[in-house]
C-alpha cells in the first residue's frame, strides 16, 4: 500500500476513530513505515483503509440467535491451561443464581427491571440462554437477598464486535445497596448511587486499547476512583464468553477477568450498607442494533468460603459448587481452575490422605443419564487433578450419585446450582 494512500485514508477516517483506536492506528503505521514494509501493513489497518479505497469486505451482521464472527478458532483458546494464574475461589453458599434457563425466548427475564428493552436469546455456538443487552439501557436483576460482608459474584458476558470505524459501546456493571427499599424499584434505574455502590466500566477498543475503570459511591458522593486499567487481551475475545469474578471481604474488593487479576483494592467498597443488587448497562454507540451484540449469562452470587482443610481432615468430607462443567457434559470449565488448585494444594499438603470424588447433578433429565453424567464428571475431576496438578491417581477413587442426594430444592435455580456439585470424601 503506497504512503500517499495511507495519508489520504487517515484524513478520511480520523473523525470516526476513538482516541485509543487512533493512537493504536498511528503507531501501527509508523512502525510499518520505519520498517519499509508498506505492503505488509497490519490486516486491521488494511481492513479500515480498504473501505476508503472502495474495497469493502462483506460484513456479517449480529443476530439475536447467532454468533459466527471468528468464534471457531477463538473458542479453542479458552482451555483450562489458559487460567493457570486464576486463583479465584467462589463462595460456598449460593445466594442468587440466574442462567435464564426457565425464561421464555424474546422476553425480558421475569422480575428484572430495565429502562428500555432486552430479551433472552439462544446462540448458535454456546449452550444455554443469554440475555441480550441494548445500548443506553440499564438492567436490574430480580435478586431479593442481601449479600452480607463476605461474598463472591460471577457472570459471563459476550461482546460480539466488528470494527466499522465507530467507537464501541461501553459495557458497565456493578453492585449497589437499596437499603430497605425494593431491589427493583423504578427509582434505582436512575438513582442507584444514593446509598452505596461499586461500578466498573469496560471500554472496548482495538489495537490493545481496551480499558476498565472502577469507581465507588457512598450517599451519592464519590468514595473511590481508580485509574483506568489496561485490558489488552480483551479484543482477542470478541464473540466468545468472558468470565468476570469478584470477591468482596468487607471493604476489600478483588476482581478477575478471565485468568487475570485486575484489582485488589483494600478500601474500594463503602462501609455502612449491605449490597443487595446488581446492575448492568450499555453505553451509547453509533453502531446499529444489527451491527453488534452484548450478551449476559451465568450470574452467581455466593457467600462464605468453606474451610476445606477442616472439613476434609476433621469432618471427613466437603463439597464444592466451584468446579463447573459445560451443559450436559463432563468438560470442565476453565473458571474452575482456582477451586481445583485449592483442592490440589490440600491433597499435596496431606500426602497420606486418599479421597473418593463423587459427582452430583440436579434433577433435570432422566435418572439414568444424570447418574452416568455424575460419574463422568467425577472421573474428569480425578483426571485433571492427576494430569494438571500431579496428584497421584492411586490416591483418588471416583463415583457418582446423579440426582439422588440433593442438598437443596431442585424447583429453584439456586437449588439446582447447589445440587450440581462435586464431593470429596476421605477414605
If we measure between CA atoms, which residue out of 361, 344, 271, 274 comes closest to residue 309?
344
pLDDT tops 50 at residue 409:
yes
pLDDT at 157: 98
Residue 257 CA to residue 280 CA, distance in Å, equals: 16
pLDDT digits (tens, 9 = 90+) for 375-386: 999 999 999 999
Q: 29 with 6: CB under 8 angstroms? A: yes
pTM of this structure: 0.80
CATH of domain 308-426: 3.30.1330.60
Q: Give the tens place of pLDDT for each residue, 75-90.
A: 333 467 767 778 899 9
DSSP-derived letter for residue 111 is T
DSSP annotation string for 16-41? GS-HHHHHHHHHHHHHHHHTT-GGG-
Handedness of CA 219, 220, 223, 229 (dihedral sign): positive
pLDDT in tens, 87-100: 899 998 999 999 99
* pLDDT attached to residue 76: 38
pLDDT tens digits, 338-348: 999 999 999 99
Whole-number pLDDT of residue 294? 97
Q: What is the pLDDT of residue 179?
A: 95
Which residues, 6 or more positions from 199, have their beta carbon under 8 angstroms from its beta carbon? 172, 173, 174, 176, 214, 215, 216, 217, 279
* pLDDT band (50, 70, 90) for residue 314: confident
Of the listed ranges 34-48, 73-87, 111-125, 164-178, the least confidently predicted one is 34-48
**Rg (the chain; Cα; Å):** 23
245 has pLDDT over 70: yes
Q: Is the pLDDT of residue 206 over 90?
A: yes
Given a cut of 90, whether residue 11 has pLDDT beyond it is no
Q: Is residue 42 over pLDDT 50?
A: no
Structure confidence at residue 246 as a pLDDT band (50, 70, 90): very high
- Sorted by where each begins, the domain ranges of the chain are 3-52, 71-303, 308-426
> Quick one: pLDDT band at residue 32, thresholds 50, 70, 90?
very low
How confident is the prediction for the chain on average, in pLDDT? 85
Is the pLDDT assigned to residue 14 strictly greater than 60?
A: no
Residue 79: its pLDDT value, please? Answer: 64
Averaged pLDDT for residues 210-224: 97
Of the candidates 97, 3, 94, the residue with the CA atom closest to the CA atom of residue 49: 3
Give the dihedral of Cα atoms 381, 386, 390, 396; nearest 10 deg: 90
Query: Residue 409: how many CB atoms within 10 A of its CB?
Result: 12
* pLDDT value of position 66: 44
How much of the chain exceeds pLDDT 90, in percent?
Answer: 74
pLDDT at 12 over 70: no
Q: For strand 138-140 and strand 129-133, is the pairing parallel, antiparallel, or unpaired?
A: unpaired
% of the chain exceeding 70 in pLDDT: 81
Architecture of domain 71-303: Sandwich (2.60)
Mean pLDDT of 31-36: 44
3-state secondary structure of 138: strand
Q: Which candidate, 42, 51, 36, 27, places its Cα nearest to that of 3?
A: 36
Alpha carbons within 13 A on the beta-carbon side of 193: 11
CA nearest 244: which of 177, 169, 162, 300? 300
pLDDT tens per residue across span 250-297: 999 999 999 899 999 999 999 999 999 999 999 999 999 999 999 999
pLDDT at 303 > cutoff 60: yes
Give the pLDDT score at 88: 92
Amino acid at each position: 500500500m503506497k504512503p500517499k494512500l495511507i495519508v489520504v485514508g487517515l484524513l478520511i477516517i480520523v473523525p470516526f476513530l476513538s482516541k485509543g483506536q487512533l493512537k493504536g492506528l498511528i503507531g501501527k503505521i509508523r512502525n510499518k513505515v520505519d520498517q519499509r514494509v508498506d505492503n505488509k501493513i497490519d490486516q486491521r489497518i488494511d481492513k479500515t483503509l480498504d473501505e476508503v479505497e472502495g474495497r469493502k469486505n462483506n460484513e456479517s451482521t449480529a443476530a439475536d440467535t447467532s454468533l459466527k464472527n471468528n468464534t471457531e478458532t477463538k473458542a479453542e483458546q479458552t482451555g483450562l491451561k489458559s487460567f493457570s494464574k486464576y486463583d479465584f475461589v467462589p463462595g460456598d453458599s449460593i445466594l442468587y443464581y440466574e442462567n435464564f434457563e426457565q425464561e421464555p425466548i424474546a422476553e425480558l427475564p421475569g422480575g428484572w427491571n430495565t429502562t428500555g428493552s432486552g430479551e433472552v436469546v439462544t446462540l448458535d455456538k454456546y449452550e444455554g440462554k443469554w440475555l441480550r443487552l441494548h445500548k443506553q439501557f440499564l438492567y436490574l436483576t430480580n435478586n431479593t437477598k442481601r449479600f452480607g460482608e463476605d461474598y463472591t459474584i460471577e457472570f459471563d458476558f459476550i461482546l460480539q464486535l466488528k470494527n466499522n470505524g465507530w467507537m464501541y459501546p461501553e459495557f458497565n456493571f456493578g453492585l449497589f445497596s437499596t437499603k430497605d427499599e425494593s431491589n427493583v424499584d423504578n427509582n434505582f434505574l436512575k438513582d442507584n448511587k444514593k446509598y452505596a455502590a461499586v461500578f466498573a466500566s469496560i471500554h472496548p477498543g482495538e489495537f490493545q486499547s481496551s480499558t476498565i475503570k472502577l469507581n465507588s459511591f457512598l450517599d451519592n458522593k464519590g468514595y473511590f476512583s481508580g485509574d483506568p486499567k489496561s485490558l489488552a487481551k480483551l479484543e482477542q475475545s470478541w464473540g466468545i464468553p468472558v468470565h468476570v469474578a469478584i470477591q468482596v471481604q468487607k471493604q476489600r474488593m478483588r476482581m478477575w477477568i478471565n485468568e487475570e487479576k485486575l484489582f485488589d483494592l483494600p478500601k474500594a467498597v463503602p462501609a455502612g450498607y449491605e449490597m443487595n443488587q446488581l446492575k448492568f448497562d450499555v453505553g451509547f454507540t453509533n453502531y446499529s442494533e444489527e451491527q453488534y451484540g452484548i450478551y449476559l449469562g451465568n450470574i452467581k452470587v455466593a457467600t462464605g468460603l468453606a474451610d476445606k482443610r477442616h472439613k476434609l481432615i476433621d469432618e471427613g468430607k466437603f463439597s464444592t459448587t466451584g468446579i463447573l462443567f459445560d451443559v450436559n457434559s463432563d468438560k470442565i470449565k476453565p473458571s474452575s481452575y482456582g477451586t481445583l488448585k485449592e483442592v490440589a494444594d490440600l491433597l499435596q499438603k496431606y500426602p497420606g490422605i486418599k479421597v473418593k470424588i463423587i459427582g452430583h447433578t440436579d434433577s433435570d433429565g432422566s435418572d439414568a443419564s444424570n447418574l452416568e453424567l455424575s460419574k463422568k464428571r467425577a472421573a474428569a475431576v480425578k483426571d485433571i487433578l492427576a494430569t494438571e496438578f500431579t496428584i497421584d491417581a492411586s490416591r483418588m477413587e471416583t463415583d457418582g450419585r446423579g440426582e439422588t442426594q440433593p442438598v437443596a430444592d431442585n424447583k429453584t435455580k439456586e437449588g439446582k446450582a447447589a445440587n450440581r456439585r462435586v464431593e470429596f470424601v476421605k477414605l
